Chains A and B, each alone.
Chain A
């Protein structure tokens, strides 16, 4: 089973120094929706549009597509991040997913500051513990280095919502350890990383009594034939995967056999290529469709 997502533009595809036209982004969201993909990824990009705004807009104008909210753990305190997420879940019948970033660049943070990767992973561990804690417990206390909560916990209309599926990234030991403890999906940057580090994160999670699924982020170009794909790719940027619909579907099948259930595709131009994936690639890939009846949202 494979969940296929596409990333949204935070900048203009044709001119990286500018922001994307709003209507074009709205159409890219609609493309993922009608093409039957799992959802759209709103990326964290310091030099582009802000992802919370993209997520809200995407959820309002879709019925099925999920929205994966990528944000830096420095951006919000964890209670407030969870509060925003709770509204997104309520307004969308549970179609929000989370991708908190730990070591991505940020130009600001609140004190006490994190100065090393170790610090950032320690902060992220606290962040995710607090966010899930206030979400799932009606009374929650926490006394950490970075965050303190007393008498916390979501009640009333905020109680009982599904916590967003957590997607984490990275390939070093700290990243895998954080995922083993907190992630639902660990998203790697290449097939090599999946092969090398995938089994390890799954095993570490199992040791904690948890299950982590694997994911991958790929830039792809697909056409009816391998020749056509290659000809188009020659004019394009560096791509992870180029081939016919059948070839790319086979590759996704091989990844699925290694446990990769989540595939985040970067395709350009987004609207046209999202339609192409929905109409030609998706039928060849064993996918899941979100079952809203089982999300637990009223």
Chain B
């Protein structure tokens, strides 16, 4: 059974990839006619806020057969825990995959917050535990702990969170946290601890993941590079007696035919910031530095970034986020997802712009074409039009 998640943008959304980095959903772009949540009506604010759009994306993902959606967390995004608390009662099966950095919360308070959310949602909270890339972004958050120490803190945090998640008093005289007699009230302790989707690619990350990850979450990379990455996590996990599962975050651009899919990128190409084509790692995308090794320079057109069939290394040029994604016909994309499952992928976080409309497209056109078995498949309610 493969869990297929969708994603909810917490930094607004753009209506199309053709005009890169021009959000009109949410209030991160220019606030003028044509913007949605908030919008304008008769010259005034229409009273909607970005959470109204996020609610619509969550409902779309639920209707289209996804098990839930990732809510990402960066400095200028909305907060995933706050969003999940607001939307808890508005969906029925949608799982909130909340991204957070363990250093920013106290583990026992995080346990109580999470258990209360589990109670409010009927157990629909999932964690995306991120430990942070360091540098200016970490100190923006008020975090000055060094890289490998942050992974040690993540491990201690998850130890403490799980330790306190019960009715017996729990103590931990830790390096980072001091816990004395912590427990949860019985009805919260009875809630399930959320599954952990764990991000990070350094040796320290993989060591921590081996101890705590239910799923080791990675960006899509060229298919040829994935087995090596999976093997490293498998080996580390084995020393803790655990068998890890693997999740991939995959951006998708799928159309009825391959030509139509590439035509979208061709239309966007004149509008992309060509400075980002050097992949010098100074950009805002975390995958950019690693992506460089897969790309043959010079890049003169979009197809030069197709590093393997249907694997395109240019998504960061069109919207904020990771570099690699799949481009192709519905059949091709479905086939590539099948191959990723054969390579060892156990779960997906899929995304496409715009997230609302594309949830229906991918749920209605691509997911029915895959041959692996999905969890909670509701696709019978959304029959493919073709």
Contacts and interface: CB of A to CB of B under 8 A. Distances in A.
Do the two chains belong together in a single complex?
yes
A150 interface: yes
A49 B31 contact: no
Interface stretch (B78-86, B291-299, B376-384): B78-86
A11 B187 CA distance: 10
B160 interface: yes
A107 B120 contact: no
A22 B76 contact: no
Nearest to B160: A108
Contacts of B83: 56, 87, 91
B80 to A, nearest CB: 9
Contact of A19 (B49, B87, B177, B185): B185
B119 interface: yes
Given A52-B113, A88-B82, A107 B181 contact: yes
Contact of A49 (B12, B79, B116, B141): B116
Interface in A190-228: none
A75 interface: yes
A168 interface: no
Contact of B142 (A74, A78, A106, A157): A78
Q: Which of B84, B87, B105 has the most C-beta atoms of chain A within 10 angstroms of its own C-beta?
A: B105
B103 interface: yes
A288 interface: no
Interface string B27-58: 11001000000100000010101110000000
Contact of B76 (A19, A91, A155): A155
A97 B105 CA distance: 20
A72 B142 contact: no
Interface in B76-135: 76, 78-79, 81-90, 103-109, 112-113, 115-117, 119-120
Given A108-B177, A110-B177, A157 B12 contact: yes
B76 A109 contact: no
Contacts of B104: 76-77, 79-80
B180 interface: yes
B223 interface: no
Kindly name the residue among A26, A79, A153 whose own CB sees the greatest number of chain B CB atoms within 10 A: A79
B342 to A, nearest CB: 40
Contacts of B85: 52-53, 55-57
B188 interface: yes
**Interface SS of A by simple majority:** mixed
B38 to A, nearest CB: 6
B50 A75 contact: no
Given A19-B188, A57-B88, A93-B49, A152 B140 contact: yes
Nearest to B50: A90
A102 B106 CA distance: 15
A56 B96 CA distance: 14
Given A47-B185, A87-B82, A158-B76, A148 B142 contact: yes
B241 interface: no
B105 A80 contact: yes
A251 interface: no
B300 interface: no
Most buried by B among A57, A92, A93: A57
Interface of B: 12, 26-28, 31, 38, 45, 47, 49-51, 76, 78-79, 81-90, 103-109, 112-113, 115-117, 119-120, 136, 139-144, 160, 164, 174-183, 185-188
24 contacts: A18-B187, A26-B89, A50-B109, A50-B117, A56-B86, A57-B89, A60-B87, A61-B89, A77-B103, A79-B140, A80-B141, A84-B82, A86-B78, A90-B27, A90-B78, A91-B50, A93-B49, A108-B109, A108-B180, A108-B182, A150-B136, A151-B136, A152-B141, A152-B142
Given A56-B86, A60-B90, A108-B107, 18 more contacts: A17-B186, A46-B112, A53-B117, A60-B86, A60-B87, A75-B109, A77-B103, A77-B142, A79-B141, A90-B51, A91-B49, A91-B50, A107-B164, A108-B160, A148-B139, A150-B144, A151-B136, A298-B31
Interface of A: 11, 17-19, 22, 26, 46-50, 52-57, 59-61, 71-72, 74-80, 83-84, 86-88, 90-93, 106-111, 113, 130, 134, 142, 147-158, 298
9 residue pairs, one from A and one from B, having the closest CB atoms: A56-B85, A150-B139, A75-B109, A80-B104, A108-B108, A107-B182, A50-B116, A87-B82, A53-B116
